[in-house]
């Protein structure tokens, strides 16, 4: 694995925080994802860079040397960023939009540092709306999330790249008997009521759920409530109104528990969509690299 700037920032964050947990929080990563990234970095270098203890981590001698060079490299990159920002004063601003999730969050944090154009971000409620805005060029690029096999066909003038596929998880009330299981069989949820998001022209949530439940031997009972906000969904689940689905990378909230489904019967797709005449066409590779980096570090893999 070739080290990238994001890997160097991870090393600096760990060294500054003295703890993998605190460094993960500062970079908006999960602690397991941070640990995985550090292992990959150390495997690439061939030496341990930190000594672990109950009180945290401290750099090894090799780690001190690598961190010193990493600090120089990141400082140089920041200077380049400032130069680009000054040059960007004469460039047209662009807007990147999309559905809530780790890809949009990651781009919001890191894209302005490497993009010449001034960039703003717009969170959109639905995949269909995001696809429509990419198509009419009201946004320069879109980060979309749909369900594998139940998404919409993009317009001819829109190019869509699949960043990765992530298993959906079921959100249960904290006291539900199935929370004792590491994974939940979909068939065990046959008597539950499902809370779904509002109808989305870009993603057939009900069709995907009905297909998976049908394969498990039952038809899902769906609540009349159509709620897209995850926080409200979790409040309803916590009160026993029903259960719902979420991206595998979603963060747990008080009163509910998230569990993967046995066999991962429902997969979410993280997508990057761009009009063929988008002002960011020349930066497409850059956006894809950032999006894939976010997926690799923050999303759950099938299996």
- Longest pairwise C-alpha distance within the chain: 61
The DSSP output letter for 35 is H
Collect all residues with Cβ–Cβ distance below 8 Å to 107 and sequence separation of at least 6: 96, 121, 143, 287, 290, 291, 294
Residue 92: the pLDDT is 79
Name the 3-class secondary structure at 212. helix
Residue 250: the pLDDT is 87
174 neighbors 256 (Cβ within 8 angstroms): yes
Residue 81: the pLDDT is 65
Rounded to whole angstroms, the Cα distance separating 80 from 177 reads 54
User: Between the CA of residue 251 and those of 100, 102, 166, 292, 303, what are the distances in Å?
Assistant: 12, 11, 14, 20, 20
| Mean pLDDT per 10-residue segment, the chain (303 residues) | 85 90 85 88 90 87 90 80 52 89 92 88 94 96 96 94 96 96 97 96 96 97 93 94 93 91 97 96 92 90 82
Angle at CA of residue 234, ends 228 and 97, nearest 5°: 35
Rounded to whole angstroms, the Cα distance separating 260 from 247 reads 10
According to DSSP, the residues that pair with 246 across neighbouring strands are 169
Query: What is the crossing angle of helices 284-298 and 102-114, to 10°?
Result: 130
Q: Which two tokens stand for residue 50?
A: 């930190």
Residue 88: the pLDDT is 46
Q: Among positive and negative, which fits the CA dihedral 137, 143, 145, 150?
A: positive
57 neighbors 39 (Cβ within 8 angstroms): no
Which domains does the chain possess? Answer: 5-86 (1.10.10.10), 92-143+153-160+270-298 (3.40.190.10), 165-267 (3.40.190.10)
Collect all residues with Cβ–Cβ distance below 8 Å to 262 and sequence separation of at least 6: 183, 184, 185, 186
234 neighbors 171 (Cβ within 8 angstroms): yes
166 neighbors 299 (Cβ within 8 angstroms): yes
Residue 87: the pLDDT is 47
The DSSP output letter for 106 is H
């Amino acid at each position: 694995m070739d080290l990238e700037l994001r890997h160097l920032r991870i090393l600096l964050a760990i060294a500054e925080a003295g703890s993998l947990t605190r460094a993960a929080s500062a970079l908006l990563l999960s602690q397991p994802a941070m640990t995985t990234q550090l292992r990959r970095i150390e495997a690439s270098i061939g030496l341990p860079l930190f000594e672990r203890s109950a009180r945290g981590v401290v750099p090894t001698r090799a780690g001190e040397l690598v961190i010193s060079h990493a600090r120089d490299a990141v400082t140089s990159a920041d200077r380049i960023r400032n130069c680009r920002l000054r040059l960007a004063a004469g460039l047209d601003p662009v807007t990147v939009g999309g559905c809530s999730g780790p890809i949009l969050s990651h781009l919001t944090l890191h894209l302005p540092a490497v993009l010449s154009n001034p960039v703003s971000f717009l969170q959109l409620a639905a995949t269909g709306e995001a696809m429509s805005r990419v198509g009419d060029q009201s946004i320069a690029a879109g980060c979309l999330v749909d369900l594998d096999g139940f998404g919409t066909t993009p317009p001819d003038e829109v190019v869509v790249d699949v960043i990765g596929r992530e298993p959906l998880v079921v959100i249960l009330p904290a006291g539900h008997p199935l929370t004792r299981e590491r994974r939940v069989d979909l068939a065990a949820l046959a008597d539950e009521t499902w809370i779904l998001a509002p109808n989305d022209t870009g993603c057939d949530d009900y069709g995907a759920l009905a297909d998976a439940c049908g394969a498990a031997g039952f038809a899902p009972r769906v609540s009349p409530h159509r709620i897209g906000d995850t926080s409200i969904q979790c409040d309803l689940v916590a009160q026993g109104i029903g259960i719902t689905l979420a991206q595998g990378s979603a963060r747990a909230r008080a009163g509910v528990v998230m569990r993967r489904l046995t066999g991962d019967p429902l997969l979410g797709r993280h997508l990057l969509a761009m009009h063929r005449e988008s002002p960011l066409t020349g930066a497409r590779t850059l956006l894809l690299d950032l999006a894939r980096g976010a997926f690799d570090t923050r999303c759950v893999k099938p299996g």
